[in-house]
Chain A
């Protein structure tokens, strides 16, 4: 079930703050007065249960991201996730599910470093924001209150801070980010704090040369690595031994980038899963995304 919580964190963070361009966004500027919309569809499958419960969890998330360039250096962002969660406990023959709006996150990203050269740039930014308790966190079904991991929201106000850096040339791009989310108490429960670190490398596969005048579309090959470290959850002052842990995801993908739109697809695959206790491990995640600039 912890994996479901980690997905929730990832969905929330799948905003414009983070580096990897498919799972996340970059430090590159949104031009002043510009608006970026990003729509994603993520399917996460977690059927690898080491406990005798036979748990199978599937989550479909559709986060929408809006980014506004307040200035050339300051971007304001909002992440609005719609989620559909379904937990099948085969040993009990029970299905627990919920769908609807999750927790909204708002953030501000301030560029703190920029170095421009012909055909290349380096950017660094700091960001800070809050995850708001907009998702329902007290849902119940015929079996009683839904598990925390199936709830659409945490019920808590959770601050997040981090930094994101980008190196970009005409041939490729490297992005890295680091963030910390401090989760707070709500309903006598606190999800463990989360540290994430991502690294993304994008290499222009086509066109091979840029001799023609104008702005061609780029086809990028993408390889990303995402580290997620999560502390144990707490309930009633007691830490949950079956929560928290570490995961490393590798994400190969492709991107088609034009002047006003990006279409991208990737598979996020767990490379390392050292979760505490009898956690439900991730099998894979599939990500499709569209970005539009206005």
Chain B
């Protein structure tokens, strides 16, 4: 009876996930699309080589297209059934995941076929929907095996080495993995799409952690994913996530903290999950594959309110703050949280006023003339309020 009640109560938990979009990127260009010179047909995968050239897996075009760093067509190659992802080794070998053929094919930078492996099945070295590719520092090839709910690892020539993950929702388990990337520590990040999270594994396959979950998406958190299908790591270690069901690109710190997002605009196919895959370029750009609109979006991380507003409707950026010290407070999410924080900060000797900006998660201190307050005092005050000061910086002109 009581259990029945618990279940009934559980049914109450629901609610639309609402993202508070922030212009974490600005749109620099779009390659392809209805007005572009390039014609893609449902592009899905993308990779960038050391020179900055991009390889696009054009799934319905059944080809891979090589583009220069500024989006100029260089060449195309392959006769695929449905290429959905691509990866490039440091030596220039281009690996292509052919979803319908359940194969991985290797090519030279000029598009000459070198070798391939795979085939349909569940045995080691076989695939049921090869969807994602990534290469580790040794050149080993990691393949997201979609319907087998695992990641398979091969040496650069295609010999099977090991398998990571199995179907499930727990730590180390996968539910339709789609995208792969390596962080700067050499750990594998898996876009665990239908667990609505990114999972991190050691190269040997030990689960290290997760960002997002099946449940977080119900709580309206901007950092909660819905079907994240692609992930990329840039030179600073920041993560860029193609959060396909929410039609956005999400920027995360290297520790996984949410920094902001950017919503796709000009969407002619709102029902389709897109962007699907993502890549970071050596010169700091992010290339997001907007499959639904047959184009590649060229994004630049970093808030640029004017450009971002032009590209995507998003809330107004706050006015420049005036004060002496800005304190970023983790965990502050409601008005009465703000009261305790303001009260304890105001009580610090030398602080003239403290005001919280709830939407930004910050508190701004104005000091009495000639007075100073140490970071440690500020941290203690925030801690007394039950929260954590994650960043303290001077902002006086």
Contact = CB atoms under 8 A, between A and B. Distances in A.
Closest 4 CB pairs of A and B: A31-B340, A171-B220, A210-B359, A116-B331
B115 interface: no
Interface residues of A, number: 62
A47 interface: no
A195 interface: yes
A227 B15 contact: no
A201 B315 CA distance: 25
Interface string B152-178: 000000000000000000000000000
A197 B9 contact: yes
Given A118-B257, A172-B15, A212 B336 contact: no
Contact of A213 (B14, B219, B221, B321): B321
Nearest to A248: B5
Interface in B1-27: 1-2, 4-6, 8-10, 12-15, 18, 20
23 contacts: A28-B334, A29-B340, A31-B340, A32-B386, A116-B388, A118-B330, A119-B222, A119-B332, A169-B221, A170-B221, A172-B220, A199-B13, A201-B13, A212-B359, A214-B355, A214-B357, A223-B12, A224-B12, A226-B9, A227-B9, A259-B336, A259-B339, A271-B8
Q: Tell me the dominant secondary structure on chain A's binding face.
A: strand
Nearest to B256: A117
B37 interface: no
Contacts of A173: 333-334
Interface residue tally of chain B, by bracket? 35 or more
Given A119-B222, A211-B315, A246 B8 contact: no
Interface string A151-182: 00000000000000001111111100000000
A120 interface: yes
B60 interface: no
B356 A214 contact: yes
Contact of A169 (B333, B357, B383): B333
B5 A171 contact: no
A72 B356 contact: no
Given A29-B387, A118-B361, A262-B336, 10 more contacts: A34-B343, A72-B384, A114-B331, A119-B333, A171-B20, A199-B9, A210-B359, A211-B317, A216-B335, A227-B6
